[in-house]
Each structure stands twice: as structure tokens, then as C-alpha cells.
Structure 1
């Protein structure tokens, strides 16, 4: 009986691996604005939906890491849907508290930038499969805002 169950699991796994799934990538991360207690960066995520029907997005989870530690995390519940047979651009605001940025001063150094890794989990509801998470990871560096940025983006 156990062998039959294993064969059934393998069969289902193989069939699901052949099913087309939405694909996503982070296209940009850039400075957005400064508030009284944090700096906000904006990640642009491009998601291609191969299905003709729109797909609901259950939530977007993110984790922003620098110097091998998490400096910001959050979730965006129910951010909308992916349009059918096309590409949807999603905005993921990442809010980094000032006190964390000051503790990263060693990494910032003379070039005034932060090396980061942004991990995003895009949780969608696929028909017949259920909730499915598209994992994304993006590394890069972002500049800290200058004094003029701080006053022009408030």
C-alpha cells in the first residue's frame, strides 16, 4: 500500500512540475522618500502570468538584508491580481528605519551606499494547486539619500 501511495505522489509531482506557472523578477530597487522615522525604497517586481485568467495575489512578503542581517521586513496583504496572459508590475515599498541605517555605517563608508539582498515571496492562488509562493531574491546596492533628497521627497 505504501508503494502505491509513493507512486501516486510521484505521478502528481511530475504532472505539477510540467504545469506552467507565473514567473517573476525584481526589475529595480530605488530610493522613494524620506519620512520622520525611516527611508523608503521601492522595489519594482515584474510578474508574467501564462494563463488567460487573472490570478489573485494573496500577499507579498519581503525581507531586506544588509551586512548579513535583516534590517527590514513586512508583508502586503491582498495586493490585487495578476492580469491574464500578460505582465503585471507590482510595487513593493521597503521601509528601513533610521536607527538601523546608522548601525550599518561601517558598510556605508565613503561611497554612501548600502549593499543589500532583498528576498520577496509572492503568494498567489493557482487554480487546482492552491497557494503557491514564487520566491525572488535580488542583490544590489542602493544609495542613501543626500540632504537635497531628504527635503525634496517629503
Structure 2
């Protein structure tokens, strides 16, 4: 065979390998299968909706939110949530932000709720922005970016947002309006405390329970935990009548200074359990440095700044 025939033979071998040889048939088979899978399996873009924002817990110090994000995966395979970025703002001012890495997986052809916990501390908010004051209702907007990794398509960012509002609680002011004696003895005295609660919040407080301790001078004369069902209207003052028993012999000179008209200092501390439009709260109450004096039951004159002891009978 001449040397001129060799290139033609090699060229023919190469062409057969590409067109009809073993490797060519395998390549064609794989391409054919890929085309059929692509026709049958369509990968689509997932969707997300900020379904709800719940106040899971609220107190005088902070509010805990749960942001529910509903993610729908239309694809035949699971997709991972790479990252979740969130921002809570008020009129463009950041209240809180954060990032949750590797947030889980959304199963194939299903919808699942992803929960994002967020805590807002009132002290931090009031320190950052002077116009956020107790007693007000604070509007906010939640913005969430979900980064998902979809086969064939790649990484996608789903942007969602929702508005809401949270209260910034104000601690109700409390004072003793008067103490009415129902029964008086040195061993035990039965009284009715007439309390005034000043609700300076922009929302009603549904009182469930009152827990308190009382001091005359520096002497603790007792306390109680009572169930009460009273609505304390927003920006209004409500009156509560609380039964209270104590022993004058344990009060030292404070009770006698009060009866003699000299006046004696009192303090009341405790908390109230209330229902609000935003959930249940336990709010502290405190009055330190109040003054009481004896007042005859026939004297109808009252001084709101100086609660009296009203003696009804011994």
C-alpha cells in the first residue's frame, strides 16, 4: 500500500467513528434521552407569598414576631433554600434585620411554610429613634429575600414584603384614691382599696388579673393576686375596688400617723395581666412616694394628688 492511501484510511476510520461507530451511537442515544427528558420535565420558577405575621409573645420589654412565608415549588425535584434575608423598617428606618443560612428544602411539587422569628426590643428602638415613645402604635414593613437553587435554571431571588403594626406599651399609672375601712381592729382590719389606673396606651386593656404589694412607710402590709374582668379604655382612667386585709399592729407608727392626720407615705407595686388587640401582656404597675391621710366619711372634699383614708365603720 502506498503512503498516499494512509490518510484516506485514517479519515474514513474517524468519520465512521463519529457517524456510525460505537461512540457515535452512545452519544446519539444520550442526546435522544436528554431531549425526551427535557420535553417531559419542565423546570419552573418557584413562588413565594408572605402569608402572615404573628405576634407570638409581647411584654413591656420586647415583642416576638413570627413571619410566615409560603413557598411553592412546581418542580419534580426538591429545591434548597440557600439563604433568607429579612428587613423590618418603619418609614425607611431599619428596626431589625438578619440572615438565615441554609434554611431548608422545599419538597417536589409542594407548598411549605417557612417561619422566620424576629425580636424587637423596645429599649433599642426608643434609643435609636426619639419619636418612638411608649403608648403608641408603630407601623412597619417586612421585606424578605429568599434565595433558592433550581436545577437547570440556577439560583433565583424571590422578593416579598408585607405591612403591619406593633404596639409600644406604656406602663399604666396607678394610685390609691382612698382606703375604705369595712372593719377595724388591732388584730385584723378589712378595707376596700379604691385604685385608679391611667391607661395612656392607644389601645384598650382587658384586665384579667391584678397582683400587688402595698407598703405604708417602709413597712409591707401585704398583697394579693386577684382575678378581675375590667376593660381599661385607651387614654382613659378606670377605677378598681380591691378588698384588702391587714393587721395595724404590724404597721408600726405609719397607721397612727395616718389616722392622726400627719400623713404617711405609701407605695404599691405589682403587675396586671391584660388582653390587647395584639395579644396577652403582663404590664408592671408601680406607685412610689404617695401620701395618705385620714379623712372623715362626712367630708366629701377630695384631693386627687393626696389619696385619703375613708373610714366607713369600725
Normalized against structure 2, the TM-score is what? Answer: 0.38
SS at 1:114's partner residue?
strand
Tell whether 2:54 aligns with 1:30.
yes
> Rg larger in 1 or in 2?
2
> Which of these residues, 124, 127, 133, is aligned with residue 100 of structure 1?
124
1:69 is aligned to 2:93: yes
Which consecutive residues of structure 2, in runs of 5 or more, have no partner in the other structure? 1-42, 170-204, 206-271, 274-279, 283-314
**Partner SS, residue 53 of structure 1:** coil
**1:119–1:135 contact (8 Å) kept in structure 2:** yes
Count of residues in Structure 1 that have an aligned counterpart in Structure 2: 134
Cα distance in 1 for residues equivalent to 2:163 and 2:133: 16
Shift of 1:143: 3.9
Partner Cα separation in structure 1 for residue 75 and residue 131 of structure 2: 47
SS at match of 1:102: helix
Matches within 5 A, 1:114-125: 114-125=138-149
Scaled by the length of structure 1, the TM-score of the pair is: 0.72
- More relative contact order in 1 or in 2 (CA 8 Å, sep 6+)? 1
For residue 44 of structure 1, the aligned residue among 61, 68, 78 is: 68
Spell out, residue by residue over 1:83-130, the C-alpha distance to the aligned partner (whole angstroms, 9 max, x if none). Answer: 1111110001112232233356746775x4321111100011111232
Distance 1:109 1:122 in 2: 34
Q: 1:125 to 1:69 in 2, by over 3 A?
A: same
* CA distance in structure 2 between the partners assigned to 1:105 and 1:83 by the alignment: 46
Partner of 1:15: none
- Bigger proportion of residues as helix: 1
What per-residue deviation string (whole Å, max 9, x for no partner) do you get for residues 65-96 of structure 1?
Answer: 01320110001111110111111100011122
Contact 1:67 1:107 in 2 (8 A): no
